[in-house]
Structures are given as C-alpha cells and as structure tokens.
Amino acid sequence: PSLGCLRRRGAMAALLGCRSLGAFRQALSLSVRRSVLATQTRGKKRWMRSYMMVMERIKKLEGPAPPKPRSQQPNWDYHAEVEAFGHRLQENFNLDLLKTAFINHCYITAEESRRQDLKLDKESVKLNLKNNQDLSAKGSLFATAYLQDCFSHAHPNLPDDGIEALISYVTGPQVVCHVARNLAVEDLTLSAEFPVPQEILQSTFFAVVGALLQSNGTEKANLFIRDFLITQLIGKDLFEMWNVINPMGLLVEELKKRNVSLPEPRLTRQSGSGTVLPVYFVGLYSDKQLIAEGPGETVLAAEEEAARVALRKIYGYTENRRPWDYSGPTREPQTVEALSN
C-alpha cells in the first residue's frame, strides 16, 4: 500500500479507538492536518484566483492609480539627484543656481498654504526660497536670440516668417517638454501639481538654460541649445513647422523678387481618376522649364504640393540638403554677445 493509504488507515484506527468525545475531536483534527499537509502541493493558494478577480474588478471600476512623483517613491535623495543632474549632462552647474531653477512660484505658494493649514508659526510658514522666474526669462531670451542667429546663418534664403516659425516650433511647449522629460527635468521640478503642466515644465527648462548661462557662460549655453533643441529639427519638413495657407501665392511673390516669370501649372500624370484613390501629378513650368512637380489626390492639392516643392528648393530646405554641422567650432552670435554683456 502507498503512504497515503497507510496514513488514512492510521487515522481511521485512531478514530475508532477513541472512547471519549474530546479524544475523538483531537484525533479528527490531527487527521485533517495530516491530510492537508500531504495533499496541498500547489504553488498558488486556492483563494488567490478569487482575490485577483476581485482586485481586477475594483481596478476597472476605480480606474488606474494616480501617478506619483519620483520624490514620493523610495530611494530618493533630492540634493544628490540635483548634483547628479549636472554630471549626467557633463555640465558644471552652480548648485545654488540649479536648485533655484527647479523651484517654481506655484510650489512656494502651495507649500506656504499647506503650512498655514497646519497652523504653524508665521516664521515657519514663510519659505526663504527664490523662484525661477528671472532665470527662466533670461534663458528664454538667450535661446531665442541664439536660434535666430543660427537659423538666419544656416538658411539665408528663408524669410523672416519661416525663421520665426522654426523658432516657435523648437521653443514650443511640445518640443521643450519632450526634451525636458527625457533629461529628467520633470522629476526634479518643484511644482504644486503632478504631472507637471507643460507651461511650468517649459519655463523650468529655460530656467536651467539660464542657470547654465550664468554658471559657465555663453559657449556652454550655445552647445546645450544646439545639442538638445536644434537636433529636434532632424527629419522634420519645413511646412510641418511653418503653416503656409497659400503656397502658390507665396511662390509667386518669391519669383517676382528674383525677376523670374510666373509659374504655369500643367497636369503631367494621373492614375486611377475613376476610382476612390486617384493620384495626380502637377508640374510647374517657368520659362518653359520644369521647376517643381508634386502629387495629390486632386489637381488642386497636387498644385499646392508642387508649389511647396518649389519653395523648398528656393529656401534651400530640401530633403537632400547638407546636414547640420555639429563638429565645427561654435560661432559667437552678435545678439548673444550683446545679451551676455
């Protein structure tokens, strides 16, 4: 007989041999314990399945948990993280300026109101902290001036509206917040709300630029903007950043400035005109020469695309243009020199 069979026989013999009710109960509990220990060999408990199902239902009803800032999670040392921020970027920041760059006005207001709710003394309520408004203003002004000089030098044929569009795209909240989150600026930002709003994260990033400008000078700040902001233009089309409503009208103005005859659109190719997915190719001719050609689902859309292709050629912002030279020596713009002085 097997081991389990012998144990069952022993338990039955013990139960039959009991003369009193107390001894019977003790023998019964002993047999149940032995059977549980002998038969329960699963890694998961039996109650685990029902418990997990209940927790999943609660999660679906209540929704996901709100995100927690990194400062409320374990293994966090704010002062060490601030110091490591500069080493990670290989920049020698002034720690006092860098800490000030991460302090926003909303954080100071929220912290003081929280201390007032705790009924602390007036001396304990007031925080002796300086916000980053001055550093943010200096960093934003410096970045705009540097980008203006860089884009004007790199694309001399691009008009002022196009340069302003590039600057607005690079310094916009979407691009700046993307760069700031990848540099862990959001984790170090002291704000009243979490996740940090885009406008606060954007001002904090420019405050970091201002702290770097005051710590290491214009050359390091130029390299910082070049490496983290100008690189966001890689793979971007000109008219993705610059919204031109009437490209054909703009092309006519550019050709008039250059004393070139006006463009004449001609339908060069078409396919599937009787289907739901037609395609048309329109070419623009000037002095009997093809200057640009573009596709489109309609003839009008193809004509506008051909005008955009011609504008890219005029402005020197084509797909096969020479890439940005990141290895050359940095040029000190005149506007940046005036701001630093």
| Interval 27-55: pLDDT, tens | 556 555 555 445 555 566 778 888 889 98
Mean local confidence (pLDDT), 162-181: 94
**Amino acid 313: pLDDT:** 92
What's the mean pLDDT when you consider all of the chain?
83
HEC profile of the chain = CCHHHHHHHHHHHHHHCCCCHHHHHHHHHHHHHHHHHHHCCCCCCCHHHHHHHHHHHHHHHHCCCCCCCHHHCCCCCHHHHHHHHHHHCCCCCCHHHHHHHCECHHHHHHHHHHHHHCCCCHHHHCCCCCCCHHHHHHHHHHHHHHHHHHHHHHCCCCCHHHHHHHHHHHCCHHHHHHHHHHCCHHHHCECCCCCCCHHHHHHHHHHHHHHHHHHHCHHHHHHHHHHHCHHHHCCCCHHHHCCCCCHHHHHHHHHHHCCCCCCEEEEEEEECCCCCCCEEEEEEEECCEEEEEEEECCHHHHHHHHHHHHHHHHHCCCCCCCCCCCCCCCCCCHHHHHHHC
pLDDT at 136 over 70: yes
The least confident of 52-61, 78-87, 318-327 is: 318-327
pLDDT at 7 over 70: no
272-282 pLDDT per residue, tens: 888 999 999 99
pLDDT at 297 over 80: yes
Model confidence at 10, in pLDDT bands (50, 70, 90)? Answer: low
